[in-house]
Amino acid sequence: MLEIVAADYSYPGGIAAVSGIGLALQPGEKVAILGPNGAGKTTLLTLLNGTIRPDRGSVRLDGQEIRYDKAGLRHLRRQVGLVLQDPDDQLFAASVFEDVSFGPLNLGLAPNAARGQVDAALAAMRIEDLRDRPTHMLSFGQRKRVAIAGIVAMQPRYLLLDEPSAGLDPFSVSHLMAALRRIAGQETAILLTTHDIDMAYGWADRIVIFGEGRIACDGAPEDIFADRALLHRLHMRPPLIWEIAQAMRAAGMLPATGPLPRTRRDLLQLIGHETATMDRIAADLSV
Amino acid sequence: MLEIVAADYSYPGGIAAVSGIGLALQPGEKVAILGPNGAGKTTLLTLLNGTIRPDRGSVRLDGQEIRYDKAGLRHLRRQVGLVLQDPDDQLFAASVFEDVSFGPLNLGLAPNAARGQVDAALAAMRIEDLRDRPTHMLSFGQRKRVAIAGIVAMQPRYLLLDEPSAGLDPFSVSHLMAALRRIAGQETAILLTTHDIDMAYGWADRIVIFGEGRIACDGAPEDIFADRALLHRLHMRPPLIWEIAQAMRAAGMLPATGPLPRTRRDLLQLIGHETATMDRIAADLSV
Amino acid sequence: MHIMEGYLPASHCIGWAAASAPFVILGLRRIARVVREHPQVKMLLAASGAYVFVLSALKLPSVTGSCSHPTGTGLAASLFGPTVTTVLSAIVLLFQALLLAHGGLTTLGANIFSMGIVGPFVAYGLYRGIQAIGLGTTIAIFTAATLGDLATYVTTSFQLAIAFPDPASGIIGAAAKFLGIFAVTQVPLAISEGLLTVVVWNLLSKY
Amino acid sequence: MRLIDRNAQTNRWRRLPALEKAALAIGMMTAALCSPGWMAQGVVLVSCAALLLWGARISCRDILRSASVPAGFIALSSLAQVVTLQLNSAWPVLGLSEAALLPAGFIALRSLACVAALLFLALTTPLTDILRLLRRAGIGPEASDIALMMFRFIWLTLDCVESSSRSQANRLGYDGYRRSLRSLGLLLAALLPRVLNRAQRVEAGLAARGYDGELRFIDLEEKLSLVRLAGTAALITTIAMIGRVGY
C-alpha cells in the first residue's frame, strides 16, 4: 500500500500547494483525481514519488515511512513510477527502444532482461511498430505513449500519471485508457489526474476531488457525484452520463433501481433496452 | 470574408500537411474545427494568418488575395488574430499589462489608445486582477487567458484559436467559452480547433472536420453528426448529448420533431419537461 | 568562477572593463550585421543565451562529490564562434550578477575577460587546432571544453593575484595561492565539463 | 535560482523607477569601492540592509540566502590573502601573514558592502526594468532585445530542465557519477534543439501580434521623483564624506 499521511507542502515563497492531505492507494486499484488547475494534483503525485518532500506529514510504502536518501528514493522509485504531463520532458534518447530501456537498465537489469521488459511495455502500450523510430519524429500522441512505456517498462507496482489524456484526440484517449486498463489488471495500481470527468467516471474505481490544496472528497463515483452541494461548492459538474441517467431515472425513463450506467455504451444500451421493453409492452397492449 | 482556396502545404522534408483545402469564414461566425492529432488543423490556422504560405492555392481577405510582403502581412494581421496552443509561444514581456500592450503598439496606436484597448481586452477575458503580475509567475490557465487577451487587444475581425480549451479544467473552459461568446457578439468571427466534441457542439454555428490533411466535411452540426458512416470512417464519435438525444428520440422519450438539444442544460430541461408533461398526462388520466 | 562584487579595486575594474570593451563591441557589431540580414537570428541567439545561462546554473556532478557550475562557454564557442560567445557571455554574466548575485557589476569587465574572452578563444582555438592536426572531434571537443574552462580559472586567479600580490612572493606567489585554493573545485569541474560537452556534442551530431 | 527574481517582482518598491534604484545602488557601490576608510563600507552595508528590510519589505531570510553564495566566495578569496607563500626556498612554504589580516578584512568588508548594494538593486528591481534602462542608455536595440527575450527563455528553459531531470530521476538516472554525467548529457542534448525550436515558435507567435523586429510595450513604471533623487544624492554624498574622513 502506498500512502500519504497528513502532508503539507509549500512552494518556495510560502504559497501552500497542499495542506493536510491523506490518501492511500491499494494494489490493483484504479483511482482518478479531479480538480481545477492549480489545486495541487500534480504536487500530490510528486510527493508520492519522492520528488519533493512534504514539509509536514509523511509518505509510506507498505507501512514504512520512506527515507529521502539515495537508497530510500531508489527503493521507492522501483515501485512507484510517475509519468509527467509533457512527454517532451521525458524523452531523451535517439530511438524509442533506447529511450524505453533507460529505466530498466538503470534498475540494474541485465541487457536481456531489460530487453524483455521494454518489449513487454511496448506491447502493453501497443507501440511495437514504433520500436526503431527516432523520438524526435513522433507525433504528440505517440510521444505520450512512449513516455508512459518508459515508466511501464520499469514494472512499478504503483503507476502515477499526470494528465495522461491532455491534448489527445478522443480516439487516442480511448486507446490510451484501454492500455491503462490492461496494465491495471496485472496487480498494478493506477492513479491519474484528469480534467475529463466523463472519462474518469467510466474508468475509475475510486474518485478523489481536490479543491484549494485539500482533498475535498474521496470515494466511489456513485457516492461522490450524488453530493450536489459539494460539487457545486467545488465548481464541478457531475459526469454528463451520470446526470442524464439521474434525470431519466427521475423522469421514470430508466428503472429506479440497479446500477447507473458508467459509459456512453451502457447508457445507450439502457435507452435501447428500455425502448425494446416499451416496444414489447406496446406490442403486448396492442394484442 | 476570410477565405482559403484550394491550398496545399507541405512541411520542409516533403510531408504533406494539408492538401486542397478550402474554407470561408464570414464575419460574426462561430466555427469549430475537429479532427485527430496531426490532421492539419494547426497548419490551416497558420496558413490563414499568413505565418506560412501555401505551396499552391491562396488565402483571400475580403476577396483580395493576400501578399506576403511586410505591408501585406501587416494588413492581414490587423484583421486576423491567431492565438497559438502553447501560451508560452506568445508571451514575452515581464508583466501582463506590458505583454498585452505589445500588439496594440505594433498596430501603430498612440500609448493612450493602446492603453484603452489593453484594458478592454483584460476586461473581456476577466483578468483585470492579473494586470500587474509577472508573466513567468502565472499558472497555465492564467497564461492561456493572457495570451488570448494579447490578440483580443488588437481587435481583429477574425479571431483564430488553436486548442483554446486544452489543459484547462471544465470550469475554466466554460468561463473561456463565455468570454469567446461575448467577443463573437461584436462582429468578430471566431474559428477554433478542439478535441472536445461536446463543447464544439454546444458552442459552434458551424463544424468542420479534418481528416488526413483534408477537410472531410463542413456544415451545420445537425447535418454533420447525422452522417454516421463518415464519422465512423474518421474514427470520430458524435457528441454525447446529440447521441443520447437521438437514442431517446428513437425510443420515443423525446418528441420526434423540433430542434435537438445542444447543451447539457437543454437536454436536462427537455427530459424534465417531458417528465412534467407525462406527470400532467398521468394526472389528467387519473382524473 | 567569478570575482565577487567589490573585490577588485576601482582602478582594476576600469582597466579590465577597458580590456574587454573592444571584444564586446566587435561581437555586438557582428551580431547587428547578422541580425540585419537574418532577423530570426535574434530569437535564436536569445534562446542559445538562455541555454548557456541555464547550463551555467546547473549543478554538475563532480568526481570529488562536491557540486559546481560549468561555464558552458566551451560548447557555445564551438557552436557559435568566439566573438558571438563574448556577447552572450557578457549578457549571461550580467544576468548572473542580477539574478543570482554571482560575480558583480564592478567586476563585470574582469569576469567578461576571463569567462567571455579568454575561455571561448582558448576553447575555439584548441577546437580548430586539434581538428586541423586530425586528432578527431571527440578529443578536440574534450580538450577545448576542459582547457577553455581551466583557462577561465587560471585567468581569474591571475586577475586576483595582480590585485593582491603576495607580500613575500609577489604576483606569481599570489597566483599560485589562488590557483591552489580554487583547484579543489575547478579542476574536477573542468574535467566534468569536458566529458559532458563530449556527451552532448556526440548526441547532437546524431540529430 | 528564482529567489532574487521572485523578490524583485513582488517587493513593495518594484514599480519605482529603475533609474532611481540603479542610481542609489551604483552610487553606494562606487562610494564603498572608492572609500579608503572602514566606516563608509559599514554605513553602506547597514543602509542597504535597512532599505531592503524596511523599505522594500524583503524578508531577512531571503536577504541572507541570496547573500550566502557571494559571502562564501569572499571568504575563500580572503583565505588566499591571509596565507603567504615563500617561493625562494627549495620548497614552497605556506605561512600565515599577520600583516595581511587587516587588509584582507578590509577587502572582505568592502566586497560585502558592494554585494549589499548589488543585492539592493537585484532584489528590488525586475531585471527587465534594468534592461530597459540600459536600452535608454544606448546599448543598442539588438543586444537589449536579445537580453529581453533571453530573460523570458531562461524561465521556459529552466522549467524544461527541472521537469526533465525529475523525469530522469524517476527512472533512476542519477545513480553514480557515470550515469549522472550521461543523463545530464542526454538532457542537455535533447534540450538544445527544443530551445531552438521554441525560438522559432515564439518568432511565429510574436509575428501574429504584429512583431516587426522591434520589441515595444507600455511599461508601468512610476514617474521619477525629485524628492527621492535628492535623498539619494544626499545619502551618497554623506557616505563619500564619511569615507574621506578615513576611519
Q: What is the DSSP letter of A95?
A: B
Name the neighbours of A, counting chains with at least 3 Cβ pairs within 8 A. Answer: B, C, D
The verdict on a CB contact (< 8 Å) between D118 and C101 is yes
> Quick check: is D84 in a domain?
yes
Query: If pLDDT is split at 50, 70 and 90, which confidence band does C64 have?
Result: very low
> Quick check: is A268 in a domain?
no
Q: What is the pLDDT of residues D161-190, one digit of tens each?
A: 999 999 999 999 988 888 888 898 899 889
Residue B27 · residue B203 · CB < 8 Å: no
| Same domain, yes or no: D120 and D56 | yes
Residues of chain C in contact with residue A94, where contact means CB-CB under 8 angstroms, are: 203, 206-207
Cell of D32: 564603498
Determine which of A254-263, C35-44, D155-164 has the lowest per-residue pLDDT on average: A254-263
Residue-level pLDDT at C153: 87
d(CA B220, CA B203): 12
- What residues of chain B, 67 to 106, have a C-beta less than 8 Å from chain A? none
Partner C contacted by D82 (CB < 8 A): no
Residues A214-247: b if buried by 16+ CB within 10 A, e if exposed: bbbbbeebeebbebeeebeebebbbbbbbbbbbb
Backbone φ and ψ of B189, nearest 5°:
-85, 145
Partner C contacted by D34 (CB < 8 A): yes
Question: Concatenated DSSP letters for B203-241?
Answer: H-SEEEEEETTEEEEEE-HHHHHH-HHHHHHTT----HH
Determine which of A198-212, C134-148, D144-158, D233-247 has the lowest per-residue pLDDT on average: D233-247
> Quick check: is B83 in a domain?
yes
d(CA A146, CA A134): 11
Residue-level pLDDT at B53: 94
Based on the number of CB atoms within 10 Å of its own CB, is C204 exposed (0-12), middle (13-18) or buried (19 or more)?
middle
> Quick check: is D213 in a domain?
no
Comparing CA positions, the residue from A232, A235, A170, A262 lying closest to residue A35 is: A235
How far apart are the CA of D91 and the nearest CA of chain B, in angstroms? 56
Question: Which residues, in sequence order, are bridge partners of residue A80?
Answer: A158
Residue C47 · residue C170 · CB < 8 Å: no
Question: Which residues, in sequence order, are bridge partners of residue A210?
Answer: A215
Cell of D6: 521572485
**Full domain range(s) for residue A15:** 2-238
Query: If pLDDT is split at 50, 70 and 90, which confidence band does A106 have?
Result: very high
| Same domain, yes or no: D67 and D187 | no
> Quick check: is B286 in a domain?
no
Q: CA C90 from chain center: how many Å?
A: 10
Q: Which amino acid is at D95?
A: G
Going across the sheet that includes A158-162, the strands are A80-83, A158-162, A189-193, A30-34, A206-211, A214-219
**Full domain range(s) for residue D53:** 2-125+222-245
How far apart are the CA of D37 and the nearest CA of chain C, in angstroms? 14
Quick one: average pLDDT of C156-170?
87
Cell of D12: 513593495
Determine which of A269-283, B4-18, B105-119, C78-92 has the lowest per-residue pLDDT on average: A269-283
- What residues of chain D, 217 to 246, have a C-beta less than 8 Å from chain C? none
End-to-end Cα spacing for chain D: 37
Residue-level pLDDT at C69: 61
Residues in CB range of B16: below 8 A, 6 or more apart: B8, B9, B10, B213
d(CA A281, CA A171): 38
Q: What is the pLDDT of residues A142-196, one digit of tens each?
A: 999 999 999 999 999 999 999 999 989 988 898 899 999 888 877 899 999 999 9
Give the 3-state secondary structure of residue D3. Answer: helix
Residue-level pLDDT at C109: 96
| Same domain, yes or no: D82 and D40 | yes
Determine which of A124-133, A169-178, B184-193, C180-189 has the lowest per-residue pLDDT on average: C180-189
Comparing CA positions, the residue from D59, D62, D31, D65 lying closest to residue D45 is: D31
d(CA B19, CA C2): 56
> Quick check: is D166 in a domain?
yes
Partner C contacted by D33 (CB < 8 A): yes
Query: If pLDDT is split at 50, 70 and 90, which confidence band does D44 have?
Result: very high
Q: What is the DSSP letter of D215?
A: -
d(CA C105, CA C95): 10
Residue-level pLDDT at A235: 84
Residue C116 has pLDDT above 50, yes or no: yes
Residue A64 has pLDDT above 90, yes or no: yes
> Quick check: is A103 in a domain?
yes
> Quick check: is A271 in a domain?
no
| Same domain, yes or no: D75 and D95 | yes
Q: What is the pLDDT of residues D104-116, one digit of tens each?
A: 899 999 999 999 9
Residue A287 has pLDDT above 60, yes or no: no
H/E stretch holding C82: helix C82-95
How far apart are the CA of D105 and the nearest CA of chain B, in angstroms? 40
Residue-level pLDDT at A81: 96
Residue-level pLDDT at A286: 43
Give pLDDT tens digits along chain B (287 positions): 999 999 999 987 778 889 999 999 999 899 999 998 888 899 999 999 999 999 999 999 999 999 999 899 989 999 999 999 999 999 988 899 999 999 999 999 999 999 999 999 999 999 999 998 999 889 888 999 999 999 999 999 999 999 999 989 998 898 899 899 888 877 899 999 999 999 999 899 999 999 878 899 999 998 898 888 888 888 888 898 888 888 888 888 788 887 888 888 888 888 875 555 545 545 554 43
d(CA D21, CA D235): 13
| Same domain, yes or no: D118 and D236 | yes
Kindly list the distances between the CA atom of residue C183 and the CA atoms of B172, B235, C89, D86, in Å, as whole numbers in the listed order: 55, 64, 23, 19
> Quick check: is D25 in a domain?
yes
Query: If pLDDT is split at 50, 70 and 90, which confidence band does C173 have?
Result: confident
Residue D246 has pLDDT above 70, yes or no: no
For chain C, the average pLDDT equals: 86
Angle at B47 between CA D146 and CA B73, to 5 degrees: 60
Q: Which residue has the higher pLDDT, C96 or A284?
A: C96
Give the 3-state secondary structure of residue B113. Answer: helix
Partner C contacted by D47 (CB < 8 A): no
The verdict on a CB contact (< 8 Å) between B49 and D208 is yes
Residue-level pLDDT at B274: 55
Comparing CA positions, the residue from B7, B104, B287, B62 lying closest to residue B189 is: B62
Residue C49 · residue D156 · CB < 8 Å: no
d(CA C167, CA D97): 9
- Number of domains chain B contains: 1
Measured from the Cβ of residue B191, the count of other Cβ atoms closer than 10 Å reads: 25
Residues in CB range of D51: below 8 A, 6 or more apart: D24, D120
Residue D11 has pLDDT above 80, yes or no: yes
The verdict on a CB contact (< 8 Å) between A240 and B236 is no
Quick one: average pLDDT of A279-283?
50
Q: Which of A42, A142, A177, A240 to mutate to test the interface with B (most CBs of B within 10 A)?
A: A240
Residue-level pLDDT at A15: 81
Cell of B257: 420533431
The verdict on a CB contact (< 8 Å) between B240 and A264 is yes
d(CA B254, CA C91): 69
Residue A224 · residue A197 · CB < 8 Å: no
> Quick check: is A257 in a domain?
no
Comparing CA positions, the residue from A71, A90, A94, A70 lying closest to residue A82 is: A90
Comparing CA positions, the residue from D37, D8, D20 lying closest to residue D233 is: D20
Q: What is the pLDDT of residues A210-247, one digit of tens each?
A: 987 889 999 999 889 888 888 888 888 889 888 888 88
Determine which of A91-105, A124-138, C1-15, D232-246 has the lowest per-residue pLDDT on average: D232-246
Partner D contacted by A152 (CB < 8 A): no
Angle at D209 between CA D208 and CA D213, to 5 degrees: 95
Residue D228 has pLDDT above 60, yes or no: yes
| Same domain, yes or no: D108 and D168 | no
Question: Concatenated DSSP letters for B165-198?
Answer: TTT--HHHHHHHHHHHHHHHTTT-EEEEE-S-HH
Comparing CA positions, the residue from A88, A85, A82 lying closest to residue A47 is: A82
Residues in CB range of D79: below 8 A, 6 or more apart: C181
How far apart are the CA of D163 and the nearest CA of chain A, in angstroms? 6
Q: What is the pLDDT of residues D116-136, one digit of tens each?
A: 999 999 999 999 999 999 998
Q: What is the pLDDT of residues D20-38, one digit of tens each?
A: 999 999 999 999 999 888 8
Quick one: average pLDDT of A63-67?
94
H/E stretch holding D30: helix D18-34
Quick one: average pLDDT of D215-221?
86
Residue B46 · residue B52 · CB < 8 Å: yes
The verdict on a CB contact (< 8 Å) between A136 and C206 is no
Residues of chain A in contact with residue C206, where contact means CB-CB under 8 angstroms, are: 94
Going across the sheet that includes A2-10, the strands are A16-25, A2-10, A56-61, A64-65
Chain C CA closest to residue A136: C207
Comparing CA positions, the residue from C149, C152, C178, C153 lying closest to residue C163 is: C178
Partner D contacted by B106 (CB < 8 A): yes
Cell of D107: 577587502
| Same domain, yes or no: D24 and D100 | yes
d(CA B76, CA B66): 7
The verdict on a CB contact (< 8 Å) between C50 and D86 is no
Cell of A255: 428503472
| Same domain, yes or no: D97 and D163 | no
How far apart are the CA of D155 and the nearest CA of chain B, in angstroms? 7
Chain C CA closest to residue D207: C40
The verdict on a CB contact (< 8 Å) between B105 and D218 is yes
Q: Which amino acid is at B187?
A: E
How far apart are the CA of D170 and the nearest CA of chain A, in angstroms? 6
Residue-level pLDDT at A247: 85
Residue C78 has pLDDT above 80, yes or no: no
| Same domain, yes or no: D61 and D84 | yes
> Quick check: is A267 in a domain?
no
> Quick check: is A250 in a domain?
no
- Number of domains chain D contains: 2
Based on the number of CB atoms within 10 Å of its own CB, is C124 exposed (0-12), middle (13-18) or buried (19 or more)?
buried
d(CA A202, CA A242): 10
Q: Return the CATH number at A139.
A: 3.40.50.300
